[in-house]
Amino acid sequence: MLVIEVKDSESIDRALKKYKRKFERSGALKELRRRKHFTKPSVERRHEIQKAAYRDSMQRELFG
């Protein structure tokens, strides 16, 4: 549960903005989307390896 401390002089818009920012940083929505569909561990691992290879190739391209 997210708790937002709101001062008496603070507007509701400002408090809402704080809440939205905190919610996004918590990663709750990202986690919900990730859990929406089951992916096999082998497929997840394959994606991780592909991402690492892509990052490595981009880094080699930049730093030569």
* Domain locations in the chain as residue ranges: 12-63
Are 6 and 15 contacting, i.e. CB atoms less than 8 angstroms apart?
yes
What 3-state class would DSSP assign to 38?
coil
pTM for this one?
Answer: 0.54
CA dihedral 8, 13, 14, 18 (to 10 degrees): 120
pLDDT of residue 20: 93
Are 4 and 19 contacting, i.e. CB atoms less than 8 angstroms apart?
yes
pLDDT of residue 63: 87
- pLDDT digits (tens), the chain, 64 positions: 888 888 888 899 999 999 999 999 999 999 999 899 999 999 999 999 999 999 999 999 988 7
Cα 13 to Cα 51: distance, rounded to the nearest angstrom: 39
